Amino acid sequence: MKSWKCGASKLFLVLIMAVSFFAFQTSTFAASVGSQLTGPEAGWKRVNAAPHNHFYFDNTWVYISQYSLYQGTSNSKVSFNFKGTKIRLIAYRYPQRNTNNKIIIDGTTYTYSEYGTNQEKTLVFEKTGLDEGVHSVEIIGGTSASGIITINAVDIDSTGEIVDNVPSELIATSGNSNISLSWDQPKQADSYKIRYGVNSGDYTKTVTVTKDVYGGYVVPGLTNGTTYYFVVSATVNGIESGYSNEVSAVPQAAEMPGRAILTIYLTNGTEKEYDLSMTEVDAFIDWYDQKDTGVGPAKYAFNKTWNKGPFKKRTEYVIFDKILTFNVDEYSTEE
């Protein structure tokens, strides 16, 4: 009788260990698409889908506070950027939901379904193995059923973050009565708004430009010598982002090019004198230096604009190997 009790105790211990083992194993299983996921798993972080978290919903979405989600219709769009390597989409599964919703990640389109038995906070899409960095995401409502699409939240890397569509690295370059602006382009911008004024933080003028001009937009009609301050925002799905870094610049009148008397002394003792712009002088010197190394034509042409008489055009040529030396006497054209 004693040995039976001992054997039963051992059997009971084995059963307890087995149950514990399988329970432990089950707890390590990752959630799969279709599962209810009320909170993020280890290695993930949940971000509620909301405008203050930099989700850009178009105006067809409605917030349903009862379920803490946004609800849209066929072709409703929401855009956002995130930094990380993986993403999960959490939504409300229901029998009359679409099976062909789209999620576009960095230009690659995937489809997912919200169709199924009634279940809140369902994992409806998962993508892992993305390159480390910032990824653009756009979600578009499908058309296969009632036209309803929902989104509660997204789960991303525990070390990841949602990245705003604010333009960055704004740079201003002064011109004559204008200032040229350039900035780094957010991935999902539809257009940009440039705000500027003569006081820092006080922007009295606004210009809307297309998304194609981020590489360099020229703001015209500015007053030379006046300091202007600029910021740029991006518009996504009709919603404006925050402002970029502020920059300032002062437009300046273009300087008049200087002029010079170029005197060329030839080997036969004669002199040639030309009244030229410094641009023309520099072109002559470039030709001379290149020819001195054996490159370029043997003669240089000067177009004479004086004493033309009845001629349509007068050109005087100077031969390189006939040049003994030359002088450049620069002078100012300002009064």
For 254-276, what is each residue's pLDDT tens digit?
Answer: 766 788 999 999 999 999 999 99
In angstroms, the CA 168 to CA 245 distance is 7
Does 214 lie in the same domain as 126? no
Instruction: Flag whether 228 is in a domain.
Output: yes
Give backbone dihedrals phi and psi of 78, rounded to 5 degrees, phi first.
Answer: -140, 140
Categorize the per-residue pLDDT at 12 as very low, low, confident or very high, splitting at 50, 70 and 90. Answer: very low
DSSP β-ladder status, 161-163 and 153-157: unpaired
Count the Cβ atoms, other than its own, within 10 Å of residue 331: 10
pLDDT recorded at residue 1? 45
Q: Over the chain, what is the mean pLDDT? A: 87
Does 121 lie in the same domain as 53? yes
Contact status, residue 89 vs residue 139, Cβ threshold 8 Å: yes
- Size of the chain, expressed as the number of residues it contains: 335
pLDDT recorded at residue 76? 94
CATH number at residue 243: 2.60.40.10
Does 185 lie in the same domain as 114? no
| Report field, pTM of the whole predicted structure over 0.85 | no
3-state secondary structure of 207: strand
pLDDT at 2 over 70: no
pLDDT recorded at residue 9? 53
Does 156 lie in the same domain as 58? yes
> Which residues are paired to 117 by β-bridges?
none
For 82-130, what is each residue's pLDDT tens digit?
Answer: 999 999 999 999 998 999 999 999 999 999 999 999 999 999 999 999 9
> Could you tell me what percent of the chain has a pLDDT over 90?
65
Does 144 lie in the same domain as 73? yes
pLDDT recorded at residue 24? 39
* Total tally of structural domains belonging to the chain: 3
pLDDT at 215 over 80: no
Give backbone dihedrals phi and psi of 278, rounded to 5 degrees, phi first.
Answer: -65, -25
Closest CA to 209 of 237, 174, 235: 235
Does 142 lie in the same domain as 101? yes
Does 289 lie in the same domain as 180? no
pLDDT recorded at residue 23? 41
Domain boundary at 124, 143, 163, which? 163
Domain boundary at 145, 163, 181, which? 163
pLDDT at 6 over 50: no
pLDDT recorded at residue 308? 67
pLDDT at 75 over 50: yes
Domain boundary at 163, 193, 223, which? 163
Instruction: Flag whether 14 is in a domain.
Output: no
Chain centre distance of CA 145: 36
> Could you tell me what percent of the chain has a pLDDT over 70?
88
Does 119 lie in the same domain as 68? yes
Amino acid at 321: D
Tokens matching residue 315: 């050109």
For 179-205, what is each residue's pLDDT tens digit?
Answer: 999 988 777 788 999 999 999 999 999
Instruction: Flag whether 25 is in a domain.
Output: no
Contact status, residue 258 vs residue 333, Cβ threshold 8 Å: yes
In angstroms, the CA 170 to CA 243 distance is 10
Instruction: Flag whether 21 is in a domain.
Output: no
pLDDT at 214 over 70: no
pLDDT at 22 over 70: no
pLDDT at 251 over 50: yes
The residue segments making up the domain with residue 265 are: 259-331
pLDDT at 16 over 60: no
CATH number at residue 271: 2.30.30
